[in-house]
Structure 1
Amino acid sequence: MATMKVKFRASSIPTKEGTLFYQVVHGRVARQVNTGYKVYPCEWDSVHAEIVFPPGIGYNRGNYLASLKEILYGNTKRFKNIIARLERTGENYTAGDVLKRYLTPSDGEGFISFAREVIRQMGQIGKPRTAERYTVVTRSFERFCGENDVFLDEVDSDLMVRYENFLKAAGVCPNTTSYYMRGLRAIYNRAVEKELTVQRYPFRHVYTGIDKTVKRAVPLNIIRQIRDLDLTLSPATDLARDVFMFSFYTRGMSFIDMAFLKKKDLQNGILSYRRQKTGQQLSIKWERPMQEIIDKYDIKDTPYLLPIIRNMEVDARKQYKNAAHLVNDKLRRLGEQLGLAIPLTTYVARHGWASIARSKNIPLPIISEAMGHNSEKTTRIYLASLDTSAVDKANSQILKAL
């Protein structure tokens, strides 16, 4: 029967970290694979083949070692499961076969390979945002797994708890951790639906809720200050500011919705669009500050209302993503110049509009309607008797206050 151990190879330089690797021995033949992790000699007990915590270790390093210890435990468990499977077949196998199954699951589909297939399918059926989300969460999980995939039937509660601890040790905030977990859960449930694995409820002991986030609103005087800046010598920053202000003028419209606004969406003084996130249809009374921004830019050769997607021969979504990165980078730098306590992004315009609306004693139902609230429960409460005239009046009040 094959055996597996975690080994440590010290660096040729005593002050540097050494390498951890897995060694499988079967039939007097040894095969090795790098774990992708490194530790200092004082952090490894060669006798017991385990992580140790030297005296005086710092908090962050301690968290890293604790997380690494759990990862090594989980991967050791995987190796033992693979060896047990091979033994049950009664067929001859080699140490190389053990490593091959560890690196590329063949006894059933691997979770990461399954996730990649789901991502490909989402792209094919016209769901690019879902594909992008699944890509982000899968890449995070891949960083946790190192170079290895995991069997679908090995995705259990213990694995997800170790992954959560890995994220905590990396300083990932609870909301981002929850975002990753919910994305992985959606992928896992697809595998269950296809009967590729049984439902083990692997996410029942990890956080999948939403914490209250730090406030990202700025007061009216800061909005006014941003609006009045002379940025003629920096066209890219000027555009970023205009996008920020357009979001504010339009009740906190998201960047993706602004990017895909088309000229035909503006009819008879009403801007109508459907939110990319929720599919909800919203209408906004066209105001003078909005038109002033549109008048600044040459958009005659595109069907779009704002100068975000400019080249009709280049993928629109790729242009949107590049522009989002550039705009938020310029806004962040602008916020630093203004000495703001929070990073300035387009999302601050949305928070700012809501906060200022509330300070103007505009009723919460009107604010919720204006922003296209995504909660079904809130939507049922708020959308029962509101009409767009009340929302437009609220927006006019805020714009006139500038």
Structure 2
Amino acid sequence: MSTVKTVLRKTILADGSYPISLRVSKDRKSKYFKTIFRAFPMEWNQTTGSFTNKNSNNIQNNRLLLKFKDRALKILSDLEMEKSDFTLKDFENRFRLVSNPVHQNVFYFWDEIIGEMIYAGRTGNARVNKEVFASLNLFHKSTRLNFKDITPSFLNKYEAFLRSRGGSDGGIGVRMRTIRALYNFAIERKIAKEQDYPFKIYKVSKLKGKNLKKALRIEEILQIRDFDLARYPRYVNTRNYFIFSFYTRGMNFVDMMKLEWKAINNDKIYYTRSKTKGNFKIKILPPVREILNYYKEFAIDTKYVFPILLKNNLTPPQLENRKHKTLQRYNKELKEIAEICGIDKPITSYVARHSFANCLKQKGVATDIISESMGHQNLSITQTYLKEFDNSVLDNAIEILV
């Protein structure tokens, strides 16, 4: 026998309320399915599985809950007609494929996608999606939002909201691309309709960051390379990470964090870039060798080169948390090093990568060689990196006219 009931779960949420789920039971086993609702104990009748009159919108909420329950009962009835030995997994597959009011809800579907990202180890993507989820929820002021409600007008209003809170083109672009990716997932899974797709009219491309990337000249790189660590020993890791990144073709922080000693073989470093999955074989230059020798001498008991991950076999959420905390400190200390060196540019971990490209260009290396060395898929990406340098060359050339 199969049963369906709406229940208040035992996991308390941040505001003191509890999530409401659909509990489907068969053969003494149960499976829970999230709904968009939450309630405080006083607002919920556990016996009837419904909102009490202490909930401000109890009539409408109960009607919607009843629709969810009826939908589940209909699927159970169909499955029992087809085969009496069906499982809860069979029900789940059918239930998630059926277009229903809950699944069409943006926040409900988004929560599922974030869960999938975490399960797949894509914790960085999950973190960004959580941040945009919270931002959109703050703007909309309700968890009731269907995909068809995300219109070009809705997106323009959300953009205005972000700008009123100090949002830049780059930051707003990240949020809009995240929502666009979610909408594409929804279309792919038959949750949203392609005819309602708002990004045919609302163009995210208009939000490309207009600020040029701040790359350093080779003279500024050498200032950081020769930084007086005897006087400022607290910056040893930050200085080493930045110089290591620069001389390894702009290896990014995540790849440095995960770099293992076994990836170093004689005079080469072998690694796969996390972002693009491109394979790299990099010659170890003297500044890199010096840094590797330093960490070999003071190695901690892990498989990693750098003392960023302090234990082996961390879970994806642990890796993401460690990356986030260490990167914050790294970027803060980079700015302090720049100030001590008299470098009047905003320096972050990614500046090492841009600086590598620009310094090669400064030395006369061809753009296609720079592109190959950085693992770019096309020259246009490299040209974006080199834009600031190209402008400075033009400025200097124009001076001969004065």
Deviation at 1:300, TM superposition (A): 4.9
Would the alpha carbon gap of residues 148 and 206 (structure 1) be closer, same or farther in structure 2, given more than 3 Å must change? Answer: same
Would the alpha carbon gap of residues 287 and 205 (structure 1) be closer, same or farther in structure 2, given more than 3 Å must change? Answer: same
Q: Which amino acid aligns with 1:342?
A: K
Deviates more, 1:349-358 or 1:226-235: 226-235
SS of aligned partner of 1:284: strand
Equivalent residue number for residue 108 of structure 1: 102
- CA distance in structure 2 between the partners assigned to 1:342 and 1:143 by the alignment: 34
Equivalent residue number for residue 358 of structure 1: 361
> Of residues 109, 115, 123 in structure 1, which corresponds to 2:118?
123
**What is the number of equivalent residue pairs in this alignment?**
285
Check conservation: 1:112, 1:138, Cα contact below 8 A. Answer: yes
Equivalent residue number for residue 194 of structure 1: 189
Structure 2 unaligned segments of length 5 or more: list them: 1-54, 69-100, 383-402
**TM-score scaled by structure 1?**
0.64
Pairs within 5 Å for 1:1-400: 96-97=57-58, 107-109=101-103, 110-199=105-194, 200-209=196-205, 210-232=208-230, 234-297=232-295, 298-312=298-312, 315-375=318-378
Check conservation: 1:273, 1:281, Cα contact below 8 A. Answer: yes
SS of aligned partner of 2:281: strand
Q: Residues 311-358 of structure 1, C-alpha deviation per residue, up to 9 Å, x if partnerless?
A: 337533332222111111111222233343321112111111111100
- CA distance in structure 2 between the partners assigned to 1:271 and 1:313 by the alignment: 22
Check conservation: 2:303, 2:312, Cα contact below 8 A. Answer: no
Q: Calculate the aligned-residue CA RMSD, in Å.
A: 2.8
Percent identical residues: 31
SS of aligned partner of 2:198: coil
Q: Residues 265-302 of structure 1, C-alpha deviation per residue, up to 9 Å, x if partnerless?
A: 11131111111111011111112211111222322511
Deviation at 1:100, TM superposition (A): 5.1
Q: Residues 115-141 of structure 1, C-alpha deviation per residue, up to 9 Å, x if partnerless?
A: 111000111123323323322322322
Q: Which amino acid aligns with 1:139?
A: A
- CA distance in structure 2 between the partners assigned to 1:259 and 1:248 by the alignment: 15
Check conservation: 1:108, 1:196, Cα contact below 8 A. Answer: no
- CA distance in structure 1 between the partners assigned to 2:56 and 2:129 by the alignment: 34
Would the alpha carbon gap of residues 378 and 176 (structure 1) be closer, same or farther in structure 2, given more than 3 Å must change? Answer: closer
- CA distance in structure 2 between the partners assigned to 1:334 and 1:123 by the alignment: 35
Would the alpha carbon gap of residues 339 and 195 (structure 1) be closer, same or farther in structure 2, given more than 3 Å must change? Answer: same
SS of aligned partner of 2:277: coil
Q: Residues 369-400 of structure 1, C-alpha deviation per residue, up to 9 Å, x if partnerless?
A: 11111449879xxxxxxxxxxxxxxxxxxxxx
Would the alpha carbon gap of residues 342 and 376 (structure 1) be closer, same or farther in structure 2, given more than 3 Å must change? Answer: closer
Would the alpha carbon gap of residues 111 and 279 (structure 1) be closer, same or farther in structure 2, given more than 3 Å must change? Answer: same
Would the alpha carbon gap of residues 147 and 338 (structure 1) be closer, same or farther in structure 2, given more than 3 Å must change? Answer: farther
Check conservation: 2:124, 2:320, Cα contact below 8 A. Answer: no
Check conservation: 1:278, 1:374, Cα contact below 8 A. Answer: no
- CA distance in structure 2 between the partners assigned to 1:261 and 1:283 by the alignment: 13
Check conservation: 2:249, 2:353, Cα contact below 8 A. Answer: yes
Deviates more, 1:266-275 or 1:293-302: 293-302
Equivalent residue number for residue 34 of structure 2: none
Deviation at 1:194, TM superposition (A): 2.1
SS of aligned partner of 1:203: helix
SS of aligned partner of 1:150: coil
Q: Residues 89-125 of structure 1, C-alpha deviation per residue, up to 9 Å, x if partnerless?
A: xxxxx97247859x99984332122111100011112
Deviation at 1:307, TM superposition (A): 2.1
Would the alpha carbon gap of residues 192 and 95 (structure 1) be closer, same or farther in structure 2, given more than 3 Å must change? Answer: same
